[in-house]
Structure 1
Amino acid sequence: MTEPTTGRDRLRELLDAVLADEDGGEGTALAAMAERAYSSPFHFSRRLSRDTGESPVALRRRVLLERAAWQIRQGSSVTDAAFAAGYRSVEGFIRAFGRAFGHPPGATTSGSGTWLPAPNGIHFHPPIHLWIESPPQERPAMDVVSLQVHHDIADTGRLIEAASGLSEEAYRRVHAPGWTVLTWDGPEESIAAVLDHLVWAKEVWCASVDGTDFPERGGDGLEELAERHRVIGPHWVATVEGIGRRGAWGDRLVDALCDPPESFVLGSVVAHVLTYAAHRRQLVRHMLRAEGVEVDHGDPIEWLQDRYGGTS
Structure 2
Amino acid sequence: MTGRDRLRELLDAVLDEDSRTLTAMADRAFASPYHFSRMLSRDTGEAPVAMRRRVMLERAAWRLRQGGSVTDAAWEAGYESVEGFSRAFTRAYGHPPSEAAGAAAQDGGRRSTWLPAANGIHFHPPTSLWVHTTEQPMNPLTDQLVRHDLDDTRLLLDLAKGLSEEEFRRPRLAGHEVNSWEGPEESIATVLEHQVGTKEVWLAAIEGADLPERSEGATAADLVARHDEAAARWLAVVRDVDRRGAWDDLLVDALCEPPESFQLGSVIAHVLTYAAHRRQLARHLLRSAGVDVDDGDPIMWLRTERGDHA
Contact 1:194-1:284 within 8 A present in 2 as well: yes
Residues 193, 220 of structure 1: 8 Å contact kept: no
Paired position in structure 2 for 1:136 = 44
Partners of 2:229 and 2:201 in 1: CA distance:
13
User: 1:267-292: CA deviations, max 9, x gaps?
Assistant: 01000000000000000000000111
Q: TM-score scaled to structure 1, two decimals? A: 0.57
Q: 1:301 matched to which residue of 2? A: 299
AA at the equivalent of 2:278:
R
Q: Which amino acid aligns with 1:281?
A: R
Q: Determine the structure 2 residue equivalent to 1:145.
A: 142
Corresponding position of 2:77: none
Q: TM-score, normalised by structure 2?
A: 0.57
Letter in structure 1 aligned against 2:184: P
Q: Which has the higher relative contact order, 1 or 2, with Cα contacts under 8 A spaced 6 or more apart?
A: 2
Counterpart-to-counterpart distance in 2, 1:173 and 1:51: 47
Are 1:52 and 2:35 counterparts? yes
Which stretches of structure 1, 4 residues or longer, exceed 6 Å deviation after superposition? none
Distance 1:223 1:184, change over 3 A: same
The SS at the match of 2:300 is helix
Residue in 1 that maps onto 2:259: 261
Shift of 1:134: 2.9
SS at match of 2:251: strand
Q: Which amino acid aligns with 2:185?
A: E
Which one of 225, 228, 244 corresponds to residue 227 of structure 1?
225
In structure 1, how many angstroms separate the alpha carbons of the residues matched to 2:255 and 2:34?
A: 55
Identity in percent: 51
Task: Name the counterpart of 2:201.
Answer: 204
Q: Give the secondary-structure state (helix, strand or coil) at the position aligned to 1:249.
A: coil
Q: Report the 3-state secondary structure (helix = DSSP H, G, I; strand = E; otherwise coil) of the residue aligned with 1:304.
A: helix
CA distance in 2 between partners of 1:241 and 1:166 (Å): 34
Aligned with 2:275 (options 269, 274, 277): 277
Which residue of 1 is the match for residue 285 of structure 2?
287
Q: Which has the larger radius of gyration?
A: 1
What residue number does 2:162 align with? Answer: 165
Q: Which residue of 2 aligns with 1:67?
A: none
Q: 1:188 aligns with which of 185, 192, 195?
A: 185
Q: How many Å apart are 1:295 and its aligned residue?
A: 0.3
Q: CA deviation at 1:220?
A: 1.8
* 1:42-88 CA-partner distances (Å, limit 9, x unpaired): xxxx966x7438xxxxxxxxxxxxxxxxxxxxxxxxxxxxxxxxxxx
| Residues 173 and 190 in structure 1, CA contact (< 8 A), matched pair in contact too | yes
**Aligned pair count?**
190
SS state at 1:176 partner: coil
